[in-house]
């Protein structure tokens, strides 16, 4: 950790402890959402809940049915906010020592994007917790695609954005099998057998999430090629495509997302949070 970060942490121990607590709550929130999302997709693969969505928003809405659901939703929203804050701290304070070169700045920009990825879900959970319902913002990906298509060269922008998203999805597969995930959980606090189990779950989970992300990128490429915003799809449409490939394919990816959720829950319990 850079000396300046040590000084900042020492000067503001309460702030540092608060960010750590929020980051851990964020991992727990993400873990719960992915477990629920995977279960919904698994039920769909088995022929249950036909017509139900299996995206993150649907998973969060199911929490309303639990006793104390609105309190839990509030904690989910707070946790996601904490995760976003932690990702911004990673980027701005360079807690991972990535540096200021092109590669380092790319990683730090990714931290910001990773945090912002959950901003919509955080707002959705907060609205459910405070109001009991969430505003219907329409289909955000299709709305965004329609706006981009109205710009000069918008079709090419969608194609490039889709290609970039596919690359991000493929990169998740690379992360899963390059050993990078071994530094995401504090292995000193669990047994070697437990660590191996967590690592395998991480590999399966991150790969499954990468598959979903790559499919969403494919939808954006198709929207650009066809100059048609309706071709854009989100997580739910990605599950529909997987289901069209066969129930076993959807079940495999759904099981992977459950594994990713469980892995995130382990991260919440045994995190590695550098620089804070």
Interacting residues of 10 by C-beta distance below 8 A, sequence separation 6+: none
Instruction: Verify that 3 and 131 share a domain, yes or no.
Output: yes
In a domain, 249, yes or no: no
Is the same domain home to 25 and 92?
Answer: yes
β-bridge partners, 271: 185
Tell me the CA end-to-end span of the chain in Å, nearest whole number. Answer: 9
Q: Is 48 helix (H, G, I), strand (E, B) or coil?
A: coil
Query: Does residue 245 lie within any of the structural domains?
Result: no
- Domain-located, residue 242: no
Q: Which residues contact 234 (CB under 8 A, 6 or more apart)?
A: 55, 139, 140, 141, 216
Q: Which of 63-67, 92-96, 120-124, 236-240 has the lowest mean pLDDT?
A: 63-67
For residue 52, the SS3 value is: coil
Structural domain range at position 221: 140-233
| Domain presence at residue 166 | yes
User: 110 pLDDT band (50/70/90 cuts)?
Assistant: confident
Query: By percentage, how much of the chain surpasses pLDDT 70?
Result: 90
Average pLDDT value for residue range 10-14: 49
Q: Where are the alpha helices (DSSP H) in 69-226?
A: 69-93, 102-116, 119-131, 140-149, 154-177, 192-226
Mean pLDDT (whole number) for 156-181: 92
Query: Taking 80 as the threshold, does the pLDDT of residue 225 lie above it?
Result: yes
Position 26 pLDDT exceeds 60 = yes
Question: Based on the domain organization, do 102 and 153 belong to the same domain?
Answer: no
What's the pLDDT score for residue 50?
A: 53
Tell me what pLDDT residue 84 has.
92
pLDDT(219) > 90 = yes
pLDDT exceeds cutoff 50 at 9: no
Block residue for tokens 């493929």: 170
147 and 102 in one domain? no
Q: pLDDT tens-digit profile of 175-213?
A: 898 888 887 888 888 899 999 999 999 999 999 999 999
Amino acid 35: pLDDT: 94
- Please say if the pLDDT value at position 95 is more than 70: yes
Average pLDDT over the chain, rounded to an integer: 86
Indicate the range of 88-102, 104-118, 123-137, 149-163 predicted with least confidence: 123-137
The phi, psi pair for 271, rounded to 5°, reads: -80, 160
DSSP letter, residue 270: S
At residue 10 the predicted structure's pLDDT band, cuts being 50, 70 and 90, is very low
Please give the structure tokens belonging to residue 195: 């660590």
115 assigned to some structural domain: yes
pLDDT value of position 210: 94
- Choice among 12-21, 45-54, 71-80, 96-105 with the minimum mean pLDDT: 45-54
Give yes or no: residues 112 and 180 share one domain.
no
- My answer on whether 126 and 223 are in the same domain is no
* Cα–Cα–Cα angle for 4, 273, 199, rounded to 5 degrees: 145
For the whole model, what pTM was predicted? 0.85
Same domain membership, residue 163 and residue 86: no
The percentage of residues in the chain with a pLDDT greater than 90, rounded to a whole number, is 46
- Among 10-24, 177-191, 227-241, 244-258, name the most confident range: 244-258
**Predicted local confidence at residue 15, as pLDDT:** 54
Q: Helices H, strands E: what count in the chain?
A: 11, 0
Residues 85, 104 share a domain:
yes
Q: Is residue 250 part of a domain?
A: no
Residues ≥6 apart with Cβ < 8 Å to 270? 185, 186, 187, 189, 190
Flag whether pLDDT at 271 surpasses 50. yes
For residues 5 and 121, state if they share a domain: yes
Is residue 262's pLDDT more than 60?
yes
Number of domains in the chain: 2
Check whether residue 129 and residue 4 sit in a common domain.
yes
* Distance between CA atoms of residues 7 and 87, nearest Å: 20
Determine the distance from the C-alpha atom of residue 190 to the mean position of all C-alpha atoms in its chain, rounded to a whole number: 25
Inter-CA distances, 70 with 28, 61, 78, 252, Å: 16, 10, 12, 31
Is 268 found in the same domain as 131? yes
Residue 51's pLDDT is what? 46
Q: Is the residue at 241 inside a domain? A: no
């Amino acid at each position: 950790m850079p000396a300046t970060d040590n000084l900042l942490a020492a000067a503001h121990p309460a702030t540092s402890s608060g960010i750590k607590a929020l980051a851990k709550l964020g991992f727990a929130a993400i873990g719960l959402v992915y477990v629920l999302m995977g279960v919904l997709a698994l039920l769909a693969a088995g022929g249950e809940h036909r017509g139900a969505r299996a995206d993150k928003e649907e998973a969060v809405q199911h929490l309303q049915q639990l006793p104390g659901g609105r309190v839990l939703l509030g904690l989910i929203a707070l946790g996601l906010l904490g995760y976003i804050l932690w990702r911004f701290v990673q980027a701005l304070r360079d807690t991972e020592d990535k540096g200021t070169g092109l590669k380092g700045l790319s990683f730090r920009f990714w931290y910001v994007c990773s945090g912002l990825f959950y901003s919509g879900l955080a707002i959705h959970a907060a609205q459910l917790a405070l109001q009991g319902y969430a505003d219907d913002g329409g289909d955000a990906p299709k709305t965004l695609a329609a706006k981009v298509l109205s710009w000069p060269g918008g079709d090419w922008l969608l194609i490039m954005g889709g290609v970039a998203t596919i690359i991000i999805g493929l990169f998740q597969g690379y992360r899963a099998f390059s050993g990078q995930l071994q530094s995401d959980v504090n292995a000193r606090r669990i047994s070697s057998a437990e660590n191996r189990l967590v690592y395998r779950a991480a590999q399966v989970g991150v790969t499954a999430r990468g598959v979903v992300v790559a499919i969403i990128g494919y939808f954006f490429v198709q929207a650009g090629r066809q100059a048609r915003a309706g071709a854009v799809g989100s997580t739910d449409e990605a599950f529909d495509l997987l289901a069209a490939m066969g129930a076993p394919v959807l079940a495999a990816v759904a099981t992977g997302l459950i594994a990713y959720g469980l892995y995130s829950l382990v991260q919440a319990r045994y995190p590695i949070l550098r620089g804070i």
